[in-house]
Amino acid sequence: MPLVEPWSFETEIFNRRLSPHRSLSVGHFRLLLAIFATVCALTTIPFFLLGAWPVIGFMGLDVAIFYWAFRANYRAALAYEQVSLTPLELQFAQVSPRGGRLEWRFSPHWVRLEREEHEEFGTQRLALVSRGERVEVGRFLGPDAKADFADEFSQALSMARRGPRFS
């Protein structure tokens, strides 16, 4: 019976899926759209009664643009980044909202996480840097989420560099 847990070079040390935060659920968006459309409809009634009927078209256009903007926002939220780290390889993938995928593979021993900090605003940029190649990570995350990710990933990266512990 072994005294330590089995360990292999394929053991995943770190695996994270980074995705943009959207604070408004789809159900709440529908409610917001219904309220906005109702307010627009109610405000056009006096204009219609006064004979300024073209205002109805412009208010309808406002509702359509409002809907289109939120739909584009939700479509953009389908993008994500996948970070996976084993003792032998760091895999980083960026997936676009349409499903296009870009992948990078690095050796954990040669890659470093570069942080750009601002005194007032916190972590501004994160990038994986290895042998002249630089890939930005989590550009859609807020400063606090970037800092949390950077701390966790840095610990995992140092663990991957250390290798297995057999005692």
- What pLDDT, on the 0 to 100 scale, is given for residue 167? 55
Bridge partners of residue 90, in order along the sequence: 85, 106
- Predicted TM-score of the model (pTM): 0.75
89, 72: one domain: no
72, 83: one domain: no
Condensed to tens digits (0 to 9), the pLDDT of residues 128-149 reads 999 889 999 988 888 899 999 9
Sign of CA dihedral 17, 140, 70, 33: positive
Q: Over the Cα atoms of the chain, what is R_g?
A: 24
72, 113: one domain: no
Q: How many CB atoms lie within 10 A of CB 15?
A: 12
Condensed to tens digits (0 to 9), the pLDDT of residues 111-121 reads 999 998 888 88
CATH assignment of the domain containing 97 = 2.30.29
Q: How many domains does the chain have?
A: 2
- What pLDDT, on the 0 to 100 scale, is given for residue 1? 37
46, 91: one domain: no
pLDDT in tens, the chain (167 residues): 343 445 566 778 899 999 988 888 889 999 999 999 999 999 999 988 998 888 899 999 999 999 999 999 888 888 999 999 988 899 999 999 998 999 999 999 899 999 988 888 888 899 999 988 999 998 888 889 999 999 999 999 998 888 766 65
Tell me the CA distances in angstroms from 149 to 35, 62, 101, 122, one per residue in order. 37, 39, 21, 13
Question: Which residue has tokens 């349409």?
Answer: 98
Between CA 102 and CA 110 the distance in angstroms is: 20
87, 122: one domain: yes
Range of the domain at 44: 26-76
Is residue 2 in some structural domain?
Answer: no
89, 118: one domain: yes
Between CA 60 and CA 41 the distance in angstroms is: 8
